[in-house]
Chain A
């Protein structure tokens, strides 16, 4: 199969996989800049695991709600509970996130033990990130989450940047730093819950971290970091999906691998630029 045939196959047979992974790539790469800047990278891993645990919970008879709604509800509830703890000084952030992470993983394993065999396979598919089988309903939900998240962040760019850079002074200037902090985490939770359901935890966590870090290696301009991160968030899924077809490997790991290669190249470039 030639290059043109592969591209035609992806566009014609798997358009939702292509556009869905680009959507997730953009929004995760954008939010990821804040996540890396706020030094809560582990939050991305935690929320993807909480989201998957919430998803798994919906397979049990006592939580009979749609998968995405269940996942979203559990993720939002977790964010509300931990957001205050993340800004407090009693327990280190890593400690809070570590507890939530390991509890979610343990709960998911226990839930999978109690789920029906066929459903266990379904949960495992979600964990691997089967982006080739994105449903139109899920894609539409993701579009809504994408539009809302990006609109809020672009409209309130100065509030999010100020309260992230210097929450103490922002508070003295009348900005409710804790409120904006919670708003940020809630938006991240909605995006992560939908995105994880759609493309899997590997893809989501990868794109919350790798494009922002790559962009930070490439430029010293804050706006350019956001733009470059989003550009990587668009290009890596396209190239990764193409390579997944060419060498016949799962899509999500291929896409994350491409992003990692971009990061490696960015690091090399930053080293060379520094010496030059």
Chain B
């Protein structure tokens, strides 16, 4: 089966400013793929190219389903990019995920309300659904945004830094939820994060992005001490224990 997303020697940037040069990789349907790298490395640029809001300066970016239909993306933005002035309820926020399919001039109907209720149940947010979105905790907001992405019945779920700024329990809960969503169906998941631990222990394959460096492959092959030390310009050690990947930065002196 051909890949869902294919970058072939793609150079990405804005105007004359090149961010990433000649990258080649592919994401298969049903894969759990990670995009990891320091802040400002070019992860968001790749996401924009995948979502179609940025054209490559050269090379190609192909996004297509095997049946020829357009790929449906469910995008989960960073929580601080949404507006908190108006007190939309979590349910109203999730309903926004249905707007694309409604088209112009049509209002949500019973079918949309059912789809929204299903998405809310999927992320276990029933009890919070009618509370103002802005009053929810970071983890609850993230669940609501994931529910909104699910409400549009996506082929690919794209999560941009979903655990940024969360406490440990919320981080684990969100990552477990995403893993469950991936396991349950045929959903392709693209997890974008600067937190190496989050990505290393959840995805099948990943791409490490850092402008001059672009490595793609299985976690064990790409996340090596040598690679990460070069990218972060500091000693980084990678250990495997009880099936988990542990990343120790800063010369193994305990600072992570």
CB within 8 Å of B: which residues of A? 33, 36-39, 155-156, 158-159, 161-162, 164-166, 168-175, 216, 220-222, 225
Contact = CB atoms under 8 A, between A and B. Distances in A.
Contacts of B148: 169
Contacts of B104: 156, 159
Contact of A158 (B53, B75, B86, B99): B99
Given A155-B105, A172-B51, A166 B87 contact: no
A220 B100 CA distance: 26
A176 to B, nearest CB: 11
Contact of B96 (A165, A168, A171): A165
Give chain B's interface residue range (CB within 8 Å of chain A): 20 to 34
A166 B85 contact: no
B77 A166 contact: yes
Contacts of A171: 53
Given A156-B104, A158-B99, A222-B92, A169 B83 contact: no
B233 interface: no
A220 B87 contact: yes
B25 interface: no
B82 interface: yes
B214 interface: no
Given A38-B83, A155-B105, A166-B83, A172 B88 contact: no
A168 B88 contact: no
B88 A164 contact: no
B139 to A, nearest CB: 18
12 contacts: A155-B105, A156-B105, A162-B99, A164-B83, A165-B83, A165-B88, A168-B75, A168-B81, A172-B51, A172-B53, A172-B75, A222-B86
B63 interface: no
A164 B152 CA distance: 19
A220 to B, nearest CB: 4
Contacts of A166: 77, 81-83, 96
Dominant SS among interface residues on chain A: helix
Interface in B60-117: 73, 75, 77, 81-83, 85-88, 92-93, 96-97, 99-100, 102, 104-105, 107-108
Given A155-B105, A172-B53, A37 B86 contact: yes
Given A166-B77, A221-B87, A222-B92, A173 B99 contact: yes
A178 to B, nearest CB: 11
B132 interface: yes
A222 B88 contact: yes
A173 to B, nearest CB: 4
Contact of A175 (B82, B85, B97, B100): B100
A222 B85 CA distance: 10
A158 B96 CA distance: 8
Smallest CB-CB A-B distances: 7 pairs? A173-B100, A172-B75, A220-B87, A37-B85, A166-B82, A172-B51, A37-B86
Nearest to B73: A172
A224 to B, nearest CB: 10
Contacts of A159: 99, 104
B152 A173 contact: yes
Nearest to A220: B87
A55 B65 CA distance: 55
Contacts of A156: 104-105
Nearest to A225: B86
Given A38-B83, A165-B86, A171-B53, 19 more contacts: A37-B86, A39-B85, A158-B99, A158-B107, A166-B77, A166-B82, A168-B77, A169-B96, A169-B148, A170-B96, A173-B75, A173-B99, A173-B152, A216-B85, A221-B87, A222-B87, A222-B88, A222-B92, A225-B87
Contact of B85 (A36, A158, A169, A174): A36
Contacts of B100: 173-175
Interface string B132-157: 10000000000000001000100000
A162 B96 contact: yes
B145 to A, nearest CB: 8
A43 B87 CA distance: 22
A112 to B, nearest CB: 37
B97 to A, nearest CB: 8
A36 B88 CA distance: 15
